[in-house]
Structure 1
Amino acid sequence: MKARTCWEAVCTVDDLVADSGIAVWTDDGPVAVFYLPHRLPALFAISHTDPFSGSNVLARGITGDINGEPVVASPLYKQHFNLRSGQCLEDESVQVKVYPVLLDGNRIRLEVPVAQAASVAA
């Protein structure tokens, strides 16, 4: 059985900064949203939590391109995470969660799991 999800509005286009990330809070926890205007798609979202330190810092990482793939380098230990897959490039056993992103007018929406309590009440 597939988990229920919803498209949660997390910020607006005006909140985004080109070639960098911002941190947003979702029902699923902290998420880093990246805006890379020179790419298609231009929006990416991954967990904001660095799996190596447990700190919420990935939105503050430096974005770049490695072998044609968009990445962010963690500001703490410098591991690179693929923004499409969440895969750590330095350690294949580590991956961060990736969230589908939708541009809805001026709003940025992320597909996040519906909380269990909300599922029961619905």
Structure 2
Amino acid sequence: MTNSTQQWTTVCAVSDILPDTGVCALINDQHIAIFRVGQAQFYAIDNIDPQSGASVLARGLVGSFGERIAVASPLYKNHIDLRSGECLENPAYSVRAHSVRVENDHVQIAVT
């Protein structure tokens, strides 16, 4: 979802994120995990694992769960939907999802 009133922050070049991996960025003092799925899909969620409090979600494994694209937390293996931030096993461990866009071959994030 794109809103023209959002504050966009350029994080990195598209080529800095390998397909099917994530990176972490610090935006406005918030740890944000940015994922590249395939060649051209980008998602951003909070990087803090809600169960442990550690900044690790960007290091998780990306995969499909039916129609959902999710990342598995490297610590407790909870699966977080990359579109919505919802934890598939326990909604209490959900995180915020953030808007992502690509402009001039750079990934930009609008933190909610």
**Aligned equivalents of 1:94 and 1:56: distance in 2?**
14
Residue 30 of structure 1: CA displacement?
0.8
* Structure 1 unaligned spans of 5+: 114-122
Please give the root-mean-square deviation of Cα atoms over the aligned residues, in Å.
1.5
Contact 1:46 1:99 in 2 (8 A): yes
Paired residue type of 2:82: L
| C-alpha displacement of 1:25 | 1.1
Consecutive unaligned residues of structure 2, counting only runs of 5 or more, are none
Could you say which residue in structure 1 is the equivalent of 2:9?
8
Point out 4+ residue stretches in structure 1 off by more than 6 angstroms. none
Q: Give the structure-2-normalised TM-score.
A: 0.90
Q: Which amino acid aligns with 1:62?
A: L
Query: Are the equivalent residues in 2 in contact too, given 1:28–1:112 (CA < 8 A)?
Result: no
Whether 1:103 and 2:99 are equivalent positions in the alignment is: no
Amino acid at match of 1:24: A
Letter in 2 for 1:94: Y
Cross-structure match for 2:79: 80
Q: What is the TM-score with the length of structure 1 in the denominator?
A: 0.83
- In the alignment, is the contact (CA less than 8 A) between 1:11 and 1:24 conserved in 2? no
| 1:92 alignment partner in structure 2 | 91
TM-fit CA distance, 1:37: 1.6
Task: For residue 100 of structure 1, give the secondary structure of its aligned residue in structure 2.
Answer: strand
Offset of 1:112 from its aligned partner?
A: 2.1
Q: Distance in 2 between matches of 1:35 and 1:111?
A: 16
CA shift at 1:78, angstroms? 0.2
C-alpha displacement of 1:95: 1.4
Structure showing greater Rg: 1
Instruction: Give 1:94 shift.
Output: 2.7
1:24-35 correspondence to structure 2 within 5 Å: 24-35=25-36
Q: Distance in 2 between matches of 1:53 and 1:61?
A: 14
Equivalent residue pairs, number: 108
